[in-house]
Chain A
């Protein structure tokens, strides 16, 4: 024992002495990243925050994964077999998959994970509604048996928006789908270092030595996820001024969401590169409560549509940077397959405040208070809210501007109480363009009344369009369905798109390989 003790002590001492040298050599092996928001959990199945998804995508993987064209490619799978009627789907895991604790990934893990995911995800719920059985055939194979065809299975399993169909060890996947997981063992290229996690300040990911990337080049969630860093350190800097200064000073390597106003300054710095983060951008959203007057009357909603000046919103959100935004008379992401401006006339042309006033009067509006909830702790919602307050004033509405934080808005928007009794009339948010490419990941477009997203729009025409899209056999039919949805969504004013905008990302010049994507892609990035 004494001998062992002394040896252990010597080893420890040697390690301690060597540490500074190692630290220096490691500089190029550590990526310091400033995420868009604080990381409060890693559960991208039970939660839908973008920042959580971004972290989880390093730690866990999906059976399939979308590439830059949103085509699902095999990731954890070797491949799949689908029956001709799309009612039986069989998936086979590729060999060599291991969890971070060294155990093998098995089909039991897959079944448990998908069962948890199907409870929370919209597409998952569709599958669950058609499910006869989800079973493990052998150690590496699972099979879905459905009672109704489902052709969009691969997209559902490989899509990038949360809840993602992440595969977790069975013991973690058994967590109640409405509870956050507390164990972060995955099979992805990075291991989450729970011991170094300081919520609100930093999160650390270390390379998983046992990870075997696929042979193909990596692209978004598809292909070989080759990690060139031993560690990825997330530093949470909520103040954009601090984050910008830290990037200029070389204290961090990559800033996910630089605010547009700081971009000219960053561009002047020779050591910093600025680029569009995600060509698919975001759709701003003005969300009305369809349950209560005045906005229970479609004319009142149309009045707002007539008065909405997307350019005002976009100037406020993006600053003077015209390259970042465009007006768009569509509920779908500009530049993607289903994009259409069918039915969007009310958003175009000069704003008609007088006509809007008349329409409001016709809807029976008579100076009642309109509760506008504004999440002031986020630059985008704050800017949107300020513009809306101004617009409502112009069409003679009596605005009650309630400055809240995003957490409170998130809680209160779920209340169906009358606006005077704890409810609300209007709030703002935005949707990633990647989630507005088609109706499947697009919760905000759903117009099924009580079951729809907050605001509870009720438009049978929109619902018919969504069903038509799910059952569309080909691209032409999908486009026709989208056009019908867009017309109906404008006619009934499901919500008001406040414009399309992109965001920047910025990094130190010695970092290479950063992709344009709806989320930060860490594989393939290198430094020095």
Chain B
């Protein structure tokens, strides 16, 4: 166990941290928190103390409780975007890789989407709808799907050239079976690595969207929102911004470490290229 951890420090450290953060998120009500949305305007902007570990914000809400509950939003957004964009990206990539006439159309559309910088695309999509965690997830997913689609399509195209896959095609193996038996297992490794990076970048994008005022509704205690609300006071009450910023950075760091570790462990060839 210890030897394994020494060989894969990224997975060990990142994974451990992430498990810890997930636990905190799940057990938020037991973490000595109070209602993160309870207002107390008379007790606003108090510095950290025994009663309010991370102080209180502009409306007197407990920053510690908000940060703890905020982990739920960041994790949900990160994981959901990673999962959804993997699933859709996989579907699109496999489709484009196998159905030649679709390839051109789908890939031009993906190129089109990809040529709009992701944050700009997400901002524009958020302007379409009203802010909710669900819409943030959809917007970031749309921005990320083309990247996964391209990756998968590349893998599929290169796999098709491999002798045993060619043989299977020649032998008349039906496409769904082919995908299940040969394509999916070989796509999984790069996909997982890619998904971990998407998870990290989705968390940051969520924070940026909220920071600009185009993200999750302010009533939701997400780290991005806490920072967005506290940023006007960063000079006088830096603690309001500091704690969620640290929490976000540590979480993203954990995911990135895990992603690097997975990359090294799962795909040494990719590790060298990236």
A and B touch in the complex (CB under 8 A): yes
In the assembled complex, A275 has its CB within 8 A of some CB on chain B: no
Query: Which of the 9-residue segments B74-82, B177-185, B233-241 touches chain A?
Result: B233-241
The CA of A240 and the CA of B131, in the complex, are separated in Å by 23
Tell me the interface secondary structure of chain A in the complex. helix
Q: Mark B215-244, 1 if CB is under 8 A from A, else 0.
A: 001110000000000011111110000000
Which of A315, A389, A390, A404 touches B130 (beta carbons < 8 Å)? Answer: A404
B213 to A383, Cβ gap below 8 A? no
A377 to B213, Cβ gap below 8 A? yes
Q: Mark B123-142, 1 if CB is under 8 A from A, else 0.
A: 00000001100000000000
B44 to A376, Cβ gap below 8 A? no
A403 to B45, Cβ gap below 8 A? no
In the assembled complex, A198 has its CB within 8 A of some CB on chain B: no
Known: A376-B218, A403-B130, A403-B131. A241 touches B234 (CB 8 A): yes
Q: Mark B13-24, 1 if CB is under 8 A from A, else 0.
A: 000000000000
B42 to A315, Cβ gap below 8 A? yes
B217 to A316, Cβ gap below 8 A? no
Known: A382-B218, A401-B219, A402-B217. A259 touches B232 (CB 8 A): yes
The CA of A312 and the CA of B259, in the complex, are separated in Å by 47
Most chain B beta carbons < 10 A, residue from A239, A319, A379, A386 = A386
Residue on B with the closest CB to A408? B130
B235 to A401, Cβ gap below 8 A? no
Residue on B with the closest CB to A376? B218
A262 to B235, Cβ gap below 8 A? yes
B218 to A315, Cβ gap below 8 A? no
A319 to B44, Cβ gap below 8 A? yes
The CA of A239 and the CA of B231, in the complex, are separated in Å by 8
Residue on A with the closest CB to B212? A377
B235 to A244, Cβ gap below 8 A? yes
Q: Mark A389-419, 1 if CB is under 8 A from B, else 0.
A: 1100000000001111100000000000000
Residue on B with the closest CB to A263? B236
Number of chain A residues close to chain B: CB under 8 A: 32
The CA of A386 and the CA of B39, in the complex, are separated in Å by 8
In the assembled complex, B29 has its CB within 8 A of some CB on chain A: no
Known: A376-B218, A389-B219, A401-B217. A241 touches B39 (CB 8 A): no
B217 to chain A: closest CB distance in Å? Answer: 4
In the assembled complex, A265 has its CB within 8 A of some CB on chain B: yes
B235 to A265, Cβ gap below 8 A? yes
A261 to B233, Cβ gap below 8 A? yes
A261 to B131, Cβ gap below 8 A? no
Tell me the interface secondary structure of chain B in the complex. loop
B36 to chain A: closest CB distance in Å? Answer: 13
A261 to B232, Cβ gap below 8 A? yes
A386 to B45, Cβ gap below 8 A? no
A319 to B58, Cβ gap below 8 A? yes
In the assembled complex, A129 has its CB within 8 A of some CB on chain B: no
In the assembled complex, A264 has its CB within 8 A of some CB on chain B: yes
When distances are taken between beta carbons in the complex, the residues of chain A under 8 Å from B41 are 311-313, 315-316, 387
The CA of A238 and the CA of B185, in the complex, are separated in Å by 51
Known: A403-B219, A405-B213. A241 touches B131 (CB 8 A): no
The CA of A319 and the CA of B59, in the complex, are separated in Å by 9
B44 to A315, Cβ gap below 8 A? yes
B39 to A245, Cβ gap below 8 A? no
A262 to B58, Cβ gap below 8 A? no
In the assembled complex, A320 has its CB within 8 A of some CB on chain B: yes
B45 to A245, Cβ gap below 8 A? no
B235 to A241, Cβ gap below 8 A? yes
When distances are taken between beta carbons in the complex, the residues of chain A under 8 Å from B235 are 241, 244-245, 262, 265
The CA of A390 and the CA of B35, in the complex, are separated in Å by 12
Known: A383-B59, A387-B41, A390-B39. A241 touches B232 (CB 8 A): yes
A458 to chain B: closest CB distance in Å? Answer: 30
Residue on B with the closest CB to A320? B44
Which of A312, A379, A405 touches B39 (beta carbons < 8 Å)? Answer: A312
Which of A313, A320, A383, A403 touches B217 (beta carbons < 8 Å)? Answer: A403
A317 to chain B: closest CB distance in Å? Answer: 9
Which of B130, B131, B236 touches A262 (beta carbons < 8 Å)? Answer: B236
B230 to chain A: closest CB distance in Å? Answer: 10
Known: A320-B45, A403-B217. A262 touches B233 (CB 8 A): yes
Q: Which of B19-67 contact A (CB under 8 A)?
A: 37-39, 41-42, 44-45, 58-60
When distances are taken between beta carbons in the complex, the residues of chain A under 8 Å from B236 are 261-262, 264-265
A402 to B232, Cβ gap below 8 A? no
Q: Mark B240-257, 1 if CB is under 8 A from A, else 0.
A: 000000000000000000
Can you list 26 contacts pairing A with B, beta carbon distance less than 8 Å?
A239-B232, A240-B232, A241-B232, A241-B233, A241-B234, A241-B235, A261-B58, A261-B236, A261-B237, A262-B232, A262-B233, A265-B236, A315-B42, A316-B39, A319-B45, A319-B58, A376-B217, A377-B213, A379-B232, A383-B58, A386-B39, A386-B219, A390-B39, A401-B219, A402-B217, A403-B219
List 13 other contacts, CB 8 Å, given A239-B231, A262-B233, A320-B45.
A239-B232, A261-B232, A261-B233, A312-B39, A316-B44, A316-B58, A320-B44, A376-B213, A387-B39, A389-B219, A401-B219, A404-B130, A405-B213
Chain A contacts to B: CB under 8 angstroms: 239-241, 244-245, 259, 261-262, 264-265, 311-313, 315-316, 319-320, 374, 376-377, 379, 382-383, 386-387, 389-390, 401-405
Chain B contacts to A: CB under 8 angstroms: 37-39, 41-42, 44-45, 58-60, 130-131, 213, 217-219, 231-237
The 3 closest A-B pairs by CB, nearest first: A315-B41, A403-B217, A316-B41
